[in-house]
Amino acid sequence: MEKNILLTGETGFIGSQLAEKFLKDGRKLIFLKRSYSNLWRVEDFIDNCDNLEIVDVDKVDIKDVFESFDIEGILHLATYYSKFHSSNEVNDMMYSNITFPTLLLENAVKNNVKYFINTGSYAEYSTDKIPISENSEILPFNLYASTKVAFEEILKFYNKEYGLKTASLKLFTPYGLKDDEDKIIPYLIIKALKKEKIIIQSTSKKLDVLYVDDIINAYEKTIENIPKFKKNENINIASGISHSIKEIYDIVNSILGDTDVKFLESDVSEVRADISKAKVLINWKPKISLEEGLNLTIEYYKKLYG
């Protein structure tokens, strides 16, 4: 009988679409969520799903979850994100990004869970040298990224001490359906659809953007290959190509027609990943071009905004 995969962060942008894909493929999932979580991203596919168990983690003891279900592995996507934190966010950020996943690890090793796949971010790296590889300097951009780095040290301990197979997928800039609408790509698309003025603050800033379906495939490939990992592995998941925000805007504009735009210049930085490790270690590379991904994303927002 197929074992369960325990998934955290399933109500988020990436987690919701990973959950939908895995459930459609017949995988058995356990959702760990809070009782007050907003379910708008998952409500259209979770009802009457025989291969899904939903647990309100704020109402049960985590150890009871592991004792009640036969869990093969953990995909950890839940996080507390704040670009520039305030003092009253520190406790919640520390619990969500360090304490909670450590409790998952502790219960995992006590219940013979085979693997733990963590989700990291390029914000953990220094961006002084491009491209960014897994060997680049660790220099967290903010407190959020610092907590992610701190947890990855704990992840290494559980890998070395208990033999749990572990990995951290370091995601670069994801985009696609059901994204947070204040991010740059949804912002450009929604403003264009509404025929509202677009203001681009950092026209020449270059990002390494990746469509969400390619990210989901990276998790699938990691599950497939993690049994052969000899140690904890950090893996960059990105396109390996950088595009300026103006380049992204130009594609959106070519699809949706002329828009009212104002270009400003405040940041000329570049983010671009070296993805050679992902190609070798998990046999993964992106398949969806920027143009194709933007077209798919635009079609989604067209249905919402006409």
Instruction: Dump pLDDT digits (tens) for 192-209.
Output: 999 999 999 999 999 999
pLDDT at position 92? 96
* pLDDT value at 136 more than 70: yes
- Asked whether residue 42 carries a pLDDT value surpassing 60, the answer given is yes
**Torsion, Cα of 48, 54, 56, 61 (10° steps):** 140
The answer to whether 5 and 75 are in contact (CB under 8 A) is yes
pLDDT, position 60: 94
Q: Which domains, ranges and CATH numbers included, belong to the chain?
A: 4-174+210-237 (3.40.50.720), 177-208+241-271+288-305 (3.90.25.10)
Average pLDDT of 166-187?
97
Question: For the chain, what is the mean pLDDT?
Answer: 96
What per-residue confidence (pLDDT) applies to 80? 93
Mean pLDDT of 1-29: 94
CA gap 181, 165 in Å, rounded:
35
Give residue 82's pLDDT.
Answer: 87
- Asked whether the predicted pLDDT for residue 2 surpasses 80, the reply is no
Rounded Cα distance, 147 and 299, in Å: 36
Q: Which residue has the tokens 């953007």?
A: 209
DSSP code for 2 = P
The predicted model gives 26-46 an average pLDDT of 95
> Based on the number of CB atoms within 10 Å of its own CB, is 61 exposed (0-12), middle (13-18) or buried (19 or more)?
exposed
**Looking at the DSSP assignment, which residues form a beta bridge with residue 167?**
117, 233
Q: Which pLDDT does position 287 carry in this prediction?
A: 98
Question: Residues 6 or more apart from 268 whose CB is under 8 A from it?
Answer: 202, 204, 205
Which amino acid is located at 62 in the chain? I
Mean pLDDT of 238-246: 97
State yes or no: pLDDT of 185 exceeds 90: yes
Task: Give the single-character DSSP code of 126.
Answer: -
- Tens of pLDDT, residue by residue over 43-101, are 999 988 999 999 999 999 999 999 999 999 999 999 999 888 999 999 999 999 999 99
- Percent of the chain scoring above 90 in pLDDT: 93
CB 63 within 8 A of CB 115: no
Angle between helices 100-110 and 143-162 in degrees, nearest 10: 10
pLDDT at 178 over 70: yes
Mapping DSSP to helix (H, G, I), strand (E, B) and coil, where does residue 303 land? helix
CA–CA separation, 87 vs 162, rounded Å? 35
What separation in angstroms does the CA of 123 have from each of 11, 13, 32, 83, 172? 22, 18, 25, 10, 8
pLDDT at 113 over 80: yes
pLDDT band at residue 289, thresholds of 50, 70 and 90?
Answer: very high
pLDDT of residue 38: 95
Say yes or no to pLDDT of 252 above 90. Answer: yes
Contact 74, 4 (CB under 8 A): no
